[in-house]
Amino acid sequence: MKNRIILTLAAMAAALVFAASCGKENPETVGFSEPLTKAEEGINSATNQFGFNVFHALYEKDQVLFSPLSASLALSMTATGANGNTASQMISTLGFEGYTMDEVNGYFKKMVAALLTIDPNTAFEIANSLWISERANARKDFINECKKYYASEVFPADFGSQETIDKVNKWCSDKTHGKIPSILDGPNPNMVMALMNALYFKGTWKNAFQSDIFPGDFRTISGTVKSVDMMYQQSELPYAEYDGFRMVELPYGNGAFSMKVILPKEKEDFAKAVKRFDAKTLDKLRGKATTNLVNVIMPKFTFEYKADLNDILIALGMEDAFDGGKADFSKMSHDDLFISFVKQKTFIDVNESGTEAAAVTVVAMDKNAPMDPPKTIDFTADRPFLFVIQENSTGAVLFIGQKVS
């Protein structure tokens, strides 16, 4: 499945053929019971554009899968504890200039609640958690904000112990139904807090693909042709063309969720097409979509992806948060903390039945001042000495002796 990029879904092979010369207006899609306010619409658009900003930075000639929602949830929780210039940079990077953190946090609370209930036929789960060491000296107000707006679970943690690492990784596995089995590699005694988000999605196509899977040719980004498993359906689907892109929309369940499959122009350099495809382009395509009878041919695929986001977030303007000398998370802790790393792992499986996808994002916080190194004591037994062999639970001495020559 090499050389496919999945966020915009622009690299999926698909042959889309009109069977009607004029499209019908799309029926009204399933929506939130409580519409977004103007501020919430702005925050929503900013979250999407932040996702494309990161995706463009991640772009490579291979598969990519990034979850803007997961990253935004984890980083917005973190920004709730930021202050001063650190907070300003984080808000700017996330695209939330002009909005208060109360507005941002309120948006995510409302959005998550709606997403969890909007389609009873589609499994969509979101979980947030805080893992806090005693050494973090975390502020109660910060913890309460995370509970209030993000429904965060809170766990005590000692990141220097394998037991904590195992618990964190088990939480990831449980919340993603085993699709993301781990997020932390091993003990890290300098780490004092982890802010985490997990997403899980499993949807069945509203319009089923045929069960007969057949081999087909897929032209890779390098120009080579490989044989892959293809699937086919003919359905009335939203279709649009704009600025050299073609899009078909494949709905899940009751239509609240869907996959957009987007093809750039046949001979356009794919890297250039990815660079110019952004949140506004996607909005244009959605706005132009009309219902047509469409033949869809596309490959089955499954893959995992891992992204280390430090350098990307710094390049986007979030510099101080990663700098132990400048970071200001005084709303999070009584001590000086900074972000040591931001990491995301993702998984996707697309087949004739539907789609299963998962993401976990972790923001790791370290203390500004490193732990004091253990004192070094010299002990050189270069003269006569005694020795004892003892059973430690009872203190019973088994042997005692001396070495004198």
The Cα 87–Cα 365 span in angstroms is: 15
Q: How confident is the model at residue 36 (pLDDT cuts 50, 70, 90)?
A: confident
The Cα 63–Cα 7 span in angstroms is: 10
- Contact between residue 269 and residue 136 where contact means Cβ atoms under 8 Å apart: no
Q: How confident is the model at residue 35 (pLDDT cuts 50, 70, 90)?
A: confident
Q: How many CB atoms lie within 10 A of CB 222?
A: 8
The Cα 102–Cα 108 span in angstroms is: 10
Is the pTM for the entire model greater than 0.75? yes
- Domains within the chain, CATH numbers bracketed: 5-204+301-367 (3.30.497.10)
- Output the pLDDT for position 108: 94
- Output the pLDDT for position 166: 97
Helical axes 38-58 vs 279-288, angle rounded to 10°: 120
Q: Which helix (H) or strand (E) holds 274?
A: helix 270-276
Across residues 360-385, what is the average pLDDT? 70
Q: Which tens digits make up the pLDDT trace of 122-150?
A: 999 999 999 999 999 999 999 999 999 99
Q: How many CB atoms lie within 10 A of CB 381?
A: 8
Q: Which helix (H) or strand (E) holds 382?
A: none
Range ranked top by mean pLDDT from 29-43, 141-155, 221-235? 141-155
Nearest to 94 by CA among 50, 150, 45, 41: 50
Q: Which tens digits make up the pLDDT trace of 184-196?
A: 999 999 999 999 9
- Output the pLDDT for position 67: 93
Helix %, strand %, coil % of the chain (to 5) = 30, 35, 35
**Summary mean pLDDT of the chain:** 85
345-372 per-residue burial string, b: 16 or more CB within 10 A, e: under 16: bbbbbbbbbbbbbbbbbbbbbbbeeeee
DSSP character for 186? S
Evaluate if residue 21 carries a pLDDT over 50: no
The Cα 241–Cα 56 span in angstroms is: 22
Q: Which tens digits make up the pLDDT trace of 234-293?
A: 999 999 999 999 999 999 999 889 989 998 988 888 888 888 988 999 999 999 999 999
* Lowest-confidence segment of 5-9, 49-53, 56-60 by average pLDDT: 5-9
Across residues 317-322, what is the average pLDDT? 96
Q: How confident is the model at residue 212 (pLDDT cuts 50, 70, 90)?
A: very high
